[in-house]
């Protein structure tokens, strides 16, 4: 996640060097012809990001039970951890797995490494683990690492070609999420455009998504936009509460919440780039329930309000003012609070659930109660392991 300014506006205090011409490593199997696939990578409209940068979370087998009880069918993780992949076998849940940013350059440079990655993390699990997407990196474009930006497209295509060799390219989507930093303008929504200096990186990706039938993933955070300028942004507009909203003078469309304005700014940017038919899908959105003293908007009440209103809005299965027939789909950030995340305090407080499986934000979900035998067993095992480890350390120091 990144900091943001009003309505998705980009922080212009830095600029990337002039990008080199982006080339892809590997074969040319995806160039020059349409490969539109009928991906079924998202059921309904609601999903969740399952981050695990924490030392107090339940094991993945319990997380699967929690997701099933909450009836959340779409899950995104940020790696390809095999304990998670095993836990999701025969669960009926859609799982998007990921290649971390640190692996992108190697996979881009060497097609065989893409094949190795797919052989290790997809082939042994699919289809019993319903892997529906491979997410290559996160928020790479708009960052400071030009080499990583140049490598992104090659990694995406090499992973796609590895799937293609296994006849899975029409079943498993390959994609990459973007932050608000890819936008040059975003307010009003109809003025949305991508940064010109990023187009040499974005254009081949957009061509690829268009050919494969994949959506454009964007991380949309009204929370971050509000936190960047609380004096000028109505918190009710950010929280989807009743407010005066804004009128886009160009389209004469009225927006009563920032979430839809952010999505439509993305649609406008895609249209300006020549991709008006591409779907926008929200890969992350959420609101922190606590934070530092400098983050007054990060409160439990605000987090509950945003997530409740968002869930209610998604369940209506409707589009946005600019794309009324395009049903909005979103992954909520996040399933749990993650106590080991660095950065502002808010980074550790986006969870819908507490580590014991009970509900953190009362949105109508069913949780795993702390009195359940499975959770009790996990806690006892965890306590016993800690006690045993402490005993060994004590004995070692005593001898």
Strand ranges of the sheet holding 131-136, from the earlier edge strand across to the other edge:
173-175, 131-136, 94-99, 74-76, 46-49, 330-333, 280-285, 216-219, 177-178
Whole-angstrom distance, CA of residue 47 vs CA of residue 374: 24
Rounded to 5°, the CA angle 381-49-62 comes to 25
Compute how many other C-beta atoms are within 10 angstroms of the C-beta atom of residue 235.
Answer: 16
Instruction: Give me the helices (H) in the chain, please.
Output: 60-70, 82-87, 101-109, 111-121, 146-165, 199-212, 222-228, 235-239, 258-272, 300-315, 373-398
Residues 6+ apart with CB under 8 A from 359: 352, 353, 365, 367
Q: Which amino acids are annotated catalytic?
A: 139, 284
Q: Which residues contact 338 (CB under 8 A, 6 or more apart)?
A: 51, 52, 53, 54, 347, 348, 350, 351
The DSSP 8-state label assigned to residue 233 in this structure reads: S
| Helix H or strand E segment including 48 | strand 46-49
**46: closest CA among 19, 9, 75, 77?**
75
Q: How far apart are CA 238 and CA 123, in angstroms?
A: 42
Cis (ω within 30 of 0) for the bond into 188?
Answer: yes
Give the gyration radius of the chain's Cα atoms: 21
Give CA angle at 242 (240, 246), nearest 5°. 80
Q: Could you please report the per-residue DSSP string of 285-324?
A: E---S---TT-TT--HHHHHHHHHHHHHHHHTT---SS-T
Tell me if residue 253 falls in helix, strand or coil: strand
Residues 6+ apart with CB under 8 A from 165: 115
Query: Tokens in use for 86?
Result: 């095993």
């Amino acid at each position: 996640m990144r900091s943001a300014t009003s309505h998705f506006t980009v922080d212009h205090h830095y600029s990337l060097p002039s990008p080199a011409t982006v080339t892809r490593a590997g074969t040319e199997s995806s160039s020059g012809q349409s490969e539109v696939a009928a991906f079924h990578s998202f059921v309904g409209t609601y999903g969740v990001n399952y981050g695990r940068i924490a030392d107090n979370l339940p094991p993945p087998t319990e997380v699967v039970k929690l997701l099933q009880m909450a009836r959340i069918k779409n899950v995104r993780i940020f790696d390809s951890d095999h304990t998670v992949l095993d836990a999701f076998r025969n669960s009926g849940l859609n799982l998007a797995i990921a290649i971390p940013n640190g692996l992108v350059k190697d996979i881009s440079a060497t097609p065989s490494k893409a094949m190795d990655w797919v052989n290790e993390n997809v082939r042994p699990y699919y289809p019993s683990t319903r892997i529906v997407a491979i997410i290559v990196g996160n928020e790479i474009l708009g960052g400071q690492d030009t080499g990583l930006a140049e490598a992104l497209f090659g990694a995406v295509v090499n992973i796609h070609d590895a799937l293609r060799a296994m006849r899975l390219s029409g079943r498993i989507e390959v994609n990459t999420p973007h932050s608000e930093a890819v936008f040059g303008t975003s307010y009003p929504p109809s003025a949305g455009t991508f940064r010109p200096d990023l187009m040499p990186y974005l254009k081949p990706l957009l061509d690829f998504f268009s050919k494969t039938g994949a959506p454009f993933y964007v991380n949309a955070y009204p929370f971050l936009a509000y936190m960047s300028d609380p004096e000028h942004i109505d918190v009710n507009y950010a929280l989807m509460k009743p407010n005066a909203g804004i009128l886009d003078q160009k389209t004469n469309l009225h927006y009563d919440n920032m979430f839809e304005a952010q999505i439509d700014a993305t649609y406008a940017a895609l249209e300006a780039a020549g991709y008006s038919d591409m779907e926008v899908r929200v890969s992350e959105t959420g609101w922190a329930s606590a934070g530092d003293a400098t983050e007054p908007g990060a409160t439990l009440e605000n987090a509950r309000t945003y997530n409740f209103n968002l869930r209610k809005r998604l369940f209506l299965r409707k589009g946005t003012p600019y794309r009324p027939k395009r049903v909005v789909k979103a992954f909520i950030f996040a399933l749990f609070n993650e106590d080991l995340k660095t950065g502002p305090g808010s980074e550790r407080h986006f969870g819908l659930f507490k580590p014991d499986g009970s509900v953190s934000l009362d949105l109508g979900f069913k949780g795993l109660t702390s009195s359940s035998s499975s959770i009790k067993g996990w806690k006892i095992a965890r306590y016993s392991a800690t006690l045993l480890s402490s005993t060994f350390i004590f004995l070692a120091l005593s001898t």
